[in-house]
Structure 1
Amino acid sequence: MNFIPSIFLSSMLLLTLTACNSGNDAPKSKDTQTHTSSAENNTSDQSETTNPPEDDFVVNKSFLEDESYNAEDIVEPVAQEEFELSVRRDPSQHTMTGYVDKLMIVSLNNDPTTLTGVSINRGNCGTKGFYDYKNMRYGSVAQVYLGCAAEYVREVTISTNSGLTYTYNF
């Protein structure tokens, strides 16, 4: 399937060349057939190179055989998003225990990023609230209030609106 465009291009090139033929189908001597342009002749000594006669038109078809380029294989790289995470216990006057456990997610991305999900300890630690997680730019902080003690957090998995998932271990 990948060869169809190159075969078509080669066919069109051959048709064009045969249509432009001047009718001189007489065999040529070996001296005139050896005039080809190659990288070795061009780089060695330009003063000794001779121009081939106008009847000898050489077509370089090496680009047709180059399999390193395939238009179907081109995939745009997905930019990796970066975050900085910290888990801490802050004093709080609004709780009966006098403290609150939080997960702080700092965005290190220039483009706006929205967090679509957070899983703590593979879902074994619940969350009590999730704030400031939309349109996060560089330096903005999302807060997740934990349902477990901050000292027991070992793994956090973050999902973003780009469809990527990031896992951080502590």
Structure 2
Amino acid sequence: MKQHTLIDSPYGPLTLVAEDGVLCGLYMTDQRHRPPEETFGTRDESLFREAEDQLEAYFEGELKEFTLELRLSGTPFQRSVWEHLRKIPYGETRSYGELADTLGNSGASRAVGLANGKNPIGIIVPCHRVVGANGSLTGYGGGLDRKQRLLDFENGSALF
């Protein structure tokens, strides 16, 4: 059974979704690949206290690595990409090609980009830390402005 809640953030409202009590979604408003609202289940704030606390600590600059239990639903390749995203340290970036190399398939940078774009748990699974080969910002489901703000925040050049 799915439940959801809405929380405030420096990016505007975030929708947190849990399935059987385990976080399976974090979506921004107007996010590309955001599932329809009717798939989020009933509204229930009580399930999300730990996620809210960790997100608040992250936005205050006190948390560098999330320790929440997650349920990542996708293809085996997508789940592998998302697990590798979680290994990119706070304040650092990797290119799509570098991520493909760590997966053992240097020719898969485009597939990595597609999987990255379908990440269902933004911010916590830090897809914003993946950039183009030359360091340029490339697609981000939450918008390039949000991606830049997250990267600036993590490298200390901007505070919320």
Return the structure number with greater relative CO, CA threshold 8 A, min gap 6.
2
Larger radius of gyration: 1
Q: TM class by shorter-chain length?
A: under 0.3
TM-score (norm 1): 0.18
Question: TM-score, normalised on structure 2?
Answer: 0.18
